[in-house]
Amino acid sequence: MSDQNPVFIPGPTNIPDRLRLAMQVQTRDHRAPDFVETFAPVLEDTKRVFGTTSGRVITFPSSGTGGWEAAISNTLSAGDTVLVARYGMFSHRWIDMCQRHGLDVQIIECDWGAGAPAARFAEALNADKAHKIKAVLVTHNETATGVVSDIGAVRRALDGAGHPALLMVDCVSSLASMPFELDAWGVDIAVAGSQKGFMLATGMAILGVSEKALDHMESAKLPRTFFDFRDMLAANAKGGFPYTPPLQLIYGMRESLKMLFEEGLDNVYARHTRLAGGVRAAVNAWGMGLVAQSPELYSDTVSAIYVPKGFDSNALTEHAFSAYGLSFGVGLGQMNGCAFRIGHLGMLTDVMVLSGLAGIEMAMADLDYPVTLGAGVAAAQRHFRVTRTAALKSAA
């Protein structure tokens, strides 16, 4: 029965039975008229989640990493300069990809636990009088550190400098769980995936793309075939794909959007805020600290938590799995061995989160952590009771 335990990693997330059933469809003809009737509304409805009316949604059979590659290869050329801040494992990986593609990567080094440095972006953009910088790449929600960044502030840095660079954003672990405003924030390409806030299996990269970004397709010289926006958009215009689509994921995506809209996006975001608050209450009761440096940086989808000195976070997550069948996120990069992560996004409720907190507390007690058994659970219970009461009064 261990496969019934929910996972508490930042993704892939738990898949609701409703979505598992939606994805369990028999092979169908993706060139038949009924596929068009399914696929076109998925593209249109996903725009609501990205917060765009003017942008386009483009999908590829891939993960978020493929989405990153599609973003840069369709808009840039070898030798182009891009501006990126490194403040976690996923911003680091995007830097690595750009370097492998022959881009000139201008890196702003930041502490892990900090957010996107809008002021330092502004300084670099103002200094770039020749407009050599062609794109600014930002990780909205740094999954390795549990940090959310202010994308609107980065847009203001670009506008304040009068700079024409594209703004590209990794929102893989935030989209469909936290507010995202592609139009309002002036984002040109936002990259997400099927396996996190959309609660589906891994296998579909989902991009929100502005008209400004699409204007770069013809001048971009980086090679692309599988990830070519032009091929995908031409096929999408006729209701299809340029090659075999991930049919099961598309049917799952249709149902996922229904679930999100039935709950209401604002309610989805509020639920994630409540769940995150309960986890942070537990962390405080344990006497531990978050990797995120200040409250405005706290993510509503993942918390990275420092373990006490002298303890190994990898041993903790391994014991939680072997003893209790529970999965938590390991520390990545600089966080390896000194922090673990609790994912609190997707298909989760108050009670499910409490089960995870109880499980990790038992693992801590087994390994002689200086925690009082039940302290974190009780703190989270108090938070959930108070905030649920307040939410019910507000709804009334």
Q: Do 331 and 222 lie in a common domain?
A: no
Express as a percent the part of the chain with pLDDT over 70: 97
Is pTM beyond 0.85? Reply is yes
- Report how far residue 311's alpha carbon sits from residue 213's, in angstroms, rounded to the nearest whole number: 47
Per-residue pLDDT reduced to its tens digit, 263-320: 999 999 999 999 999 999 999 999 999 999 999 999 999 999 999 999 999 999 999 9
What residues are paired with 108 via a beta bridge? Answer: 85
What amino acid is encoded at 224 in this protein?
R
pLDDT above 50: residue 364:
yes
What six digits make up the tokens of 64? 């978020």
pLDDT at 394: 63
**How far is Cα 39 from Cα 210, in angstroms, rounded to an integer?**
20
Neighbours of 169 (CB within 10 A): 29
- Cβ-count burial of 333 within 10 angstroms (0-12 exposed, 13-18 middle, 19+ buried)? middle
What confidence score (pLDDT) does residue 393 get? 62
Coarse DSSP helix, strand, coil percentages of the chain, rounded to the nearest 5 percent:
45, 15, 40
Indicate whether 237 and 307 sit together in one domain: no
Do residues 350 and 221 both lie within one domain?
no
Phi-psi region of 324 (alpha: psi -120 to 50; beta: other; left: phi over 0): alpha
Above 90 in pLDDT, residue 160?
yes
| pLDDT at 2 > cutoff 60 | no
Model confidence at 1: pLDDT above 50: no
Q: Is 133 helix (H, G, I), strand (E, B) or coil?
A: strand
Q: How confident is the model at residue 54 (pLDDT cuts 50, 70, 90)?
A: very high
Per-residue pLDDT at 392: 63
CATH assignment at residue 30: 3.40.640.10
Please report, rounded to a whole number, the percentage of residues in the chain having pLDDT higher than 90: 92
What pLDDT band is residue 29 in, cutting at 50, 70 and 90?
confident
Could you say which of 211, 230, 261 is where a domain stops?
261
Of 261, 280, 304, the last residue of a domain is 261
Contacts of 277 by beta carbon, 8 Å cutoff, 6+ apart: 383, 387
| CATH for 303 | 3.90.1150.10
CB-facing half-sphere around the CA of 217: CA atoms within 13 A: 17
Mean pLDDT in residue range 77-93: 96
Could you list the residue range(s) of the whole structural domain that residue 356 is in? 264-395
Q: Do 251 and 102 fall within a single domain?
A: yes
| Same domain assignment for residues 335 and 353 | yes
Domains in the chain, number: 2
Report yes or no on 101 lying in a domain.
Answer: yes
Q: Which residues contact 209 (CB under 8 A, 6 or more apart)?
A: 55, 56, 57, 58, 188, 189, 190, 229
Residue with tokens 């501006």: 83
Taking residues 25-37, what's their average pLDDT? 86
Taking residues 357-371, what's their average pLDDT? 98
Coil, strand or helix: which one is 86? strand
pLDDT digits (tens, 9 = 90+) for 15-25: 999 999 999 98
Q: What is the mean pLDDT of residues 164-173?
A: 98
**Residue 7 included in any domain:** no
Residue 395 has pLDDT above 70, yes or no: no
- The answer on 22 and 159 residing in a single domain is yes
The stretch 81-92 carries a mean pLDDT of 96
Burial 346-372 (b: 16+ CB within 10 A, else e): bbbebebbbbbbbbbbbbbeebebebe
Predicted local confidence at residue 254, as pLDDT = 97
| Residue of 183, 224, 237 whose CA lies nearest to 47 | 183
Q: Which of 24, 6, 110 is nearest to 348 (CA)?
A: 6
Nearest CA among 57, 141, 89 for reference residue 345 = 141
Of the three residues 233, 261, 289, the one that is the final residue of a domain is 261
CB-based contact 155:184 (threshold 8 Å): no
The β-bridge partners of 190 are 169, 208
Q: Per-residue pLDDT for 221 more than 90? A: yes
Identify whether 252 is part of a domain.
yes
Q: What is the pLDDT of residue 35?
A: 85
Are 349 and 248 within one domain?
Answer: no
Contacts of 285 (CB under 8 A, 6+ apart): 375, 376, 378, 379
| Domain match, 250 and 317 both | no
The predicted-structure confidence for 119-146, as pLDDT tens digits, reads as follows 999 999 999 999 999 999 999 999 999 9
275 and 352 together in one domain: yes
Lowest-pLDDT range, 63-72, 234-243, 258-267, 288-297? Answer: 234-243
Mean of all residue pLDDT scores within the chain: 96
Residues 340 and 250 reside in one and the same domain: no
Q: How far apart are CA 285 and CA 369, in angstroms?
A: 13
Same domain, 269 and 201: no
For residues 371 and 32, which has the higher predicted lDDT (pLDDT)? 371
